[in-house]
Amino acid sequence: MKTRPKSALTLAMVALFTMTIFAFTFPQDGWVVPEKYKNMKNEYAGEDEDGIGEELYNQHCKSCHGKEGYGDGTKAKELETELNDLTSAEVQSQTDGELYYKAIIGRDEMPNFEKKIRDEEDRWMLINYLRSLAK
Ligand code: HEC
């Protein structure tokens, strides 16, 4: 059984190597949105008459993502994760459902807003506002 520690070490090294390759191949864009969310229908597409979306954005999102969505908010510097430009094609080419998932459920440094923004209609107003930031 002398070989055991050695093979465990080999296994650990292989695992580490695989994880490193994975991290470089799929940086933050490897953010997989569940199908259920991806294909969600935005019943309120294009609406934000009362400016609720903008209000919510300024209240909850601006501090990191910046006023225009460029990722230059006052808190952005304190983050370890690089922020994508919300006005970019890369972000805007996603479905409303994908943006909803990322904005409301979040992950890691992107906070979860399920409790802070409870109303379904308000959530979509926020997504509609994100759309209006597009270049
Ligand atoms: C504390 C800072 C912080 C706040 C506040 C914040 N975000 Fe984020 N956001 C992030 C970070 C960090 C990421 C990237 C997360 C990652 O890739 O792991 C992100 C990613 C996103 C993305 C995904 C963009 C892409 O690359 O596809 C969307 C959409 C988003 N945020 C919307 C919002 C909205 C809407 C709000 C307000 C309700 C908000 N964020 C508030 C830090 C923040």
pLDDT tens per residue, range 82-120: 999 999 999 999 999 999 999 999 999 999 999 999 999
| Residue with CA at minimum distance from ligand 1 atom 15 | 110
Query: Cα(11)–Cα(1) distance, rounded to whole angstroms?
Result: 16
Instruction: Name the nearest CA neighbour of 46 among 135, 134, 133, 127.
Output: 127
Joined tokens for residue 56: 């919510």
Residue 31: CB atoms within 10 Å: 15
Tell me which of 8 and 33 has the higher pLDDT. Answer: 33
pLDDT above 90 covers a percentage of the chain that reads: 76
Task: Give the length of the chain.
Answer: 135
- Residue 8, pLDDT score: 86
Residue 75 Cβ < 6 Å to ligand 1: yes
- Residue 125, pLDDT score: 97
| Residue with CA at minimum distance from ligand 1 atom 42 | 110
Query: Cα(70)–Cα(79) distance, rounded to whole angstroms?
Result: 14
Residue 33 Cβ < 6 Å to ligand 1: no
Q: Residue 27 — very low, low, confident or very high, per pLDDT cuts 50/70/90? A: very low
